[in-house]
Chains A and B, each alone.
Chain A
Amino acid sequence: MKQNSITILVPVIPDKVHDLLDQLRDIKINSQEGISKDFDGLSIIHYARWVVIDHGKSWINDDQKREPKLLFVVDYDGKEEEMLSKVCESSSTILDLIYVFCKDYPPLNSITPHGRMSFLASHAIKDAAVYIGAPGRSVVQIQNEKRLRNYIREFLDSRSWSGVPAQAILQEIQSKVMDSGDYGFLETENVSLPRINFPILILVGLIALCLFPIWFPIVTIWMLILHFFYERKDENFTRKRSQLDDDFLTDLEKYEDWQNQNQFTQLVDMKEGSFRLISIKSMFLLTNLLIKLVFNQGKLMGIPTIHFAKWVMFEKNSRVLFFSNFDGSWQQYLGDFIDNSGWGLTGIFSNTKVFPKTNFLITGGAYKEEYFLAWSRNSELITNYWYSAYPDLSIKNINNNTRIRVQLMKTLSKRQAVKFLKLL
């Protein structure tokens, strides 16, 4: 089943923004018996979050008067319409409690399920690039495969296997699993792991090579113009982490490191002009291409800890949002980014205002570690409510569980069986 992502951006009634924040706080506090339980019950939602933006804390030093807005971001299985209809059905009261503070929400006394749904759908905005760490894996599949892995692991722990050949162990696991009768999905569903699309990749590479005399001069001239006419005039971010706002950081920390996964929401403004817009759009184009062809193995530019991440442009491409759901701590997340994909991040975010100094679009920037860490923290937003369907699984666990599942029912050679057992 295909995973999709939606971003719903709704204006908040300005003098109701504090009521909304209080409401979201209550919803968060009661989420285990409330909204999170609803989402659990649907079994199609991977991650979800509500974030209030532009209510004074959006990004520090923003002098423009903004109207507060509410973001609702959902990573889900299947079709948008089905997901929205299920959410509206299962959580109608909570949705009403939240969106009553938003502009143009249908009056509560006459609202219909369809009314809620069309309200949300009509406020959806387009994602610029979406990354998925386990493409093709539905929530149900992820949960099933987790159950399967734990069952096999428990079986392996129940006795000693010393001296038993790998193929014999595999057979025992197979019959144990089949005899249990709990894993019918193994027979009914045919699952394969996504692969790096080499034929297309080679084709794209060949085309790029053939067109080299055309695009290379263009890119070179582009970079030179960018550097001499834009980057040199940029206002750069030059604060260090010690210089950030203490109270704001304390607020951010309240929402972090409660479990093995974390969220990150970031909002930045685009630098003015179409030159920058074309630069960032080209970077998104490249990112999307690589996500489709190469980054479908659980790693984004070598980073093995991201479940879902995406970029969104809104307000006539003048602003950029970044969302991520990942394993581990903010510190590790950013550190990994610098090492593995500093060029990619710099290529995207150097087109946004007050970024650490860059040269030729992709150098400097993120590689200026101290400024970059401070910049990212400074432009981060509080995620008012956050949901994860499987907080106990890392993205590596999820992909490993699928590998186990795919191989389990196959007839494996001795060598393959040895390799298979290593996954457990």
Chain B
Amino acid sequence: MTMLELENIQGYLIRGYAHMLYSRFVYLQISDANAVKKWLSKSWLEMTSARHIHDKSKISPTHLNIAFSHEGLRALGLKEENLAAFSREFRQGMVSAHRTRLLGDYDTSKPENWNWGDKNTDSIHLCLMVFGNDKTAKDDLEKDKIVCLNYYRELESQFEENGLKQLFFIDGQTQPDNKEHFGFRDGISQPIIEGSGRVGNKDDVVKAGEFLFGYKNEFGVYPDTPLIVKEQGNLNLLPPDAGGSGKKDIGKDGTFMVMRQLEQDVNKFWSFMNENSKNPNGSINIEDSLKLGAKFMGRWQNGAPITLFPDKDPGPNSDINDFGYSKFDKDGLKCPFGSHLRRANPRDNVDDHSPKESLKLSNQHRIIRRARLYGEIYEGSPTNTTPNGEVGLLFICFNVDISRQFEFLQYTWANLPKNKELYNDPDPIIGVKEQANLGEEQNFTIQDSPVNKTYKNLPRVITVKGGAYFFFPSINVLRYLSTI
């Protein structure tokens, strides 16, 4: 097994920084490429790496990572030939006619309506990810915020002299129990990158080449890494292409980062659950509403998988993740086939493939998720349905093959209503269209005995507000970029 060069990998890929409850995602333009390169020549040392630190007291209270858009690499001075060596998805970005169809960004979610990332908004060159944690406190969002923002202000004071122009920022927060605004614990199941030193369920161990360039992927081949086609900069800083082309590899130990700002309509979500589970007299049936919400999601609000706990939420903070659908729930009677989590990661039960084949297929479509909350910290429930102002998720994920991983999950497994044996069932959380086509039904089917139950006219509960694809380079490559 290959061991990863953790010192060379930016930390956010390997670790979620979950203890850093406050973060600021700063979106910038390069106004002076030479000044930015000069800044990179020093700041690569400051970027948080994935290096494991045993002594927790030595972990820095602030973390910093960086990612570039394709436009950003161009603005920095990467030559056209080298820019062209990146994958088509990254080059095109999240907004193109075809991609909009794949991702289902229609109606209110259409790119023209986005706050950022569309062609008619300011072109984003890079994203700085700033994290803070007050080490004297435990799980204190307000104190973490102070540390994070102090660090941010320190960085921000030098943006101008470093050739950077700030466009806007999004503040991301995390709840200690990691609940998102609908009230569900998030981010429990993550793939484990082979060679990263992390341990866990062996079924979740995925080849490094799914998340890092320069390593073999789940098909046993090297991913389509960006190579230096036309020489520039100090090429001694770059490793050779592991694929044997003889060219230098600018991708090695880096990956692509997908960002999407998703507004969550808490009211619509829980109103639908309440309405469809109400008592005969019309009053809210909290228990049934929670259960219906759990069926949609695939886990209870506290995180326990409904596959293992089909009747009731077993209580707080369940981290149980070691289960298979094929063994416990082949017929979907506990966790419906259409539920958000079962679609996004069908584990050992893809279509009617064998468990072994299914796991293989599932692992070819994994992503590492790093969602952060924005807006008021709010925990939705059947009786808690109306937050103040806009709330949502800054959805972030890492993958090497945007097409086969993120876009596949969004299009094939979430948006297409034909998952498993289903007929008209899009993903109830992220796949529903705001306006269905003429004659098109949008349902959620609960496999049940004696007969399945259909919930009709699903509402779209998220709105895309912005998004972009970024290159998340290795730390060495940051150093290289300072020399181009």
Q: Is the CB of B224 within 8 A of A242?
A: yes
Give residues of chain B (380-410) contacting chain A, Cβ–Cβ below 8 Å. Answer: 403-404, 407-408
Which one, B357, B404, B449, contacts A331 given CB within 8 A? B404
Which one, B86, B411, B450, contacts A165 given CB within 8 A? B450
0/1 string, B416-449, CB within 8 A of A gives 1: 1110110100000000000000001000000101
- Given A339-B361, A370-B223, A246 and B451 contact (CB-CB distance below 8 Å): no
Q: Is the CB of A396 within 8 A of B421?
A: yes
Q: Is residue A241 within 8 Å, beta carbon to beta carbon, of the partner chain?
A: yes
Give residues of chain B (206-222) contacting chain A, Cβ–Cβ below 8 Å. Answer: 217, 219-222
Q: Is residue A367 within 8 Å, beta carbon to beta carbon, of the partner chain?
A: yes
Q: Is residue A108 within 8 Å, beta carbon to beta carbon, of the partner chain?
A: no
Separation of A332 and B408 alpha carbons in the complex (Å): 7
Separation of A213 and B403 alpha carbons in the complex (Å): 47
Total A-B pairs in contact (CB under 8 Å)?
112
Instruction: Point out the residues of chain A lying under 8 angstroms from B451, CB to CB.
Output: 156, 161, 169, 421, 424
Q: Is the CB of A329 within 8 A of B411?
A: yes
* Contact stretch, chosen from A48-56, A229-237, A250-258: A250-258
Tell me the minimal C-beta distance from B236 to chain A in angstroms: 24
Which bracket fits the contact residues of A? 35 or more
Separation of A331 and B416 alpha carbons in the complex (Å): 13
Which one, B102, B220, B224, B331, contacts A329 given CB within 8 A? B102
Separation of A382 and B97 alpha carbons in the complex (Å): 17
Instruction: Point out the residues of chain B lying under 8 angstroms from A340, CB to CB.
Output: 357
Which one, A157, A164, A327, A369, contacts B219 given CB within 8 A? A369
Tell me the minimal C-beta distance from B86 to chain A in angstroms: 6
Q: Is the CB of A260 within 8 A of B418?
A: yes
Q: Is residue B50 within 8 Å, beta carbon to beta carbon, of the partner chain?
A: no
Q: Is residue A397 within 8 Å, beta carbon to beta carbon, of the partner chain?
A: yes
Tell me the minimal C-beta distance from A338 to chain B in angstroms: 7
Most chain-B Cβ atoms within 10 A of its Cβ — which of A243, A254, A331? A331
Instruction: Point out the residues of chain B lying under 8 angstroms from A156, CB to CB.
Output: 451-452, 454
Tell me the minimal C-beta distance from A399 to chain B in angstroms: 10
Which one, B91, B98, B404, contacts A335 given CB within 8 A? B404
Tell me the minimal C-beta distance from A332 to chain B in angstroms: 5
Q: Is residue A394 within 8 Å, beta carbon to beta carbon, of the partner chain?
A: yes
Q: Is residue B11 within 8 Å, beta carbon to beta carbon, of the partner chain?
A: no
- Given A242-B226, A339-B357, A418 and B412 contact (CB-CB distance below 8 Å): no
Most chain-A Cβ atoms within 10 A of its Cβ — which of B224, B351, B353, B447? B224
Q: Is the CB of B219 within 8 A of A241?
A: no
Q: Is residue B364 within 8 Å, beta carbon to beta carbon, of the partner chain?
A: yes
Tell me the minimal C-beta distance from A419 to chain B in angstroms: 10
Q: Is residue A302 within 8 Å, beta carbon to beta carbon, of the partner chain?
A: yes
Which one, A164, A241, A335, contacts B450 given CB within 8 A? A164
- Closest A residue to B98 by beta carbon equals A253
Q: Is residue A368 within 8 Å, beta carbon to beta carbon, of the partner chain?
A: yes
Which bracket fits the contact residues of B? 35 or more
Q: Is the CB of A260 within 8 A of B224?
A: no
Instruction: Point out the residues of chain B lying under 8 angstroms from A165, CB to CB.
Output: 450
Q: Is residue A194 within 8 Å, beta carbon to beta carbon, of the partner chain?
A: no
Q: Is residue A249 within 8 Å, beta carbon to beta carbon, of the partner chain?
A: yes
Q: Is residue A267 within 8 Å, beta carbon to beta carbon, of the partner chain?
A: no
Which one, B85, B226, B351, B454, contacts A157 given CB within 8 A? B454
Instruction: Point out the residues of chain B lying under 8 angstroms from A329, CB to CB.
Output: 102, 408, 411-412, 416
- Closest A residue to B360 by beta carbon equals A339
Give residues of chain B (36-92) contacting chain A, Cβ–Cβ below 8 Å. Answer: 84-88, 91
Instruction: Point out the residues of chain B lying under 8 angstroms from A304, CB to CB.
Output: 351-352
- Closest A residue to B424 by beta carbon equals A392
Q: Is the CB of B408 within 8 A of A256?
A: no
Separation of A157 and B97 alpha carbons in the complex (Å): 38
Q: Is residue B101 within 8 Å, beta carbon to beta carbon, of the partner chain?
A: yes
Instruction: Point out the residues of chain B lying under 8 angstroms from A421, CB to CB.
Output: 449-452
Separation of A304 and B447 alpha carbons in the complex (Å): 21
Separation of A329 and B420 alpha carbons in the complex (Å): 15
A residues near B (Cβ < 8 Å) are: 153, 156-157, 161-162, 164-166, 169, 240-244, 246, 249-250, 253-254, 256-258, 260, 302, 304, 327-329, 331-332, 335, 338-340, 367-371, 392, 394, 396-397, 400, 418, 421-422, 424
Interchain residue pairs with CB less than 8 A apart (9)? A156-B454, A241-B87, A258-B101, A302-B357, A327-B418, A329-B416, A335-B361, A339-B357, A397-B421
B residues near A (Cβ < 8 Å) are: 84-88, 91, 97-98, 101-102, 217, 219-224, 226, 331, 351-353, 357, 360-361, 364, 403-404, 407-408, 411-412, 416-418, 420-421, 423, 440, 447, 449-454, 456
Besides the contacts A329-B102, A339-B360, A371-B221, what 10 more A-B pairs have beta carbons closer than 8 Å? A241-B224, A242-B84, A258-B101, A260-B416, A304-B352, A335-B404, A338-B219, A339-B364, A370-B221, A397-B423
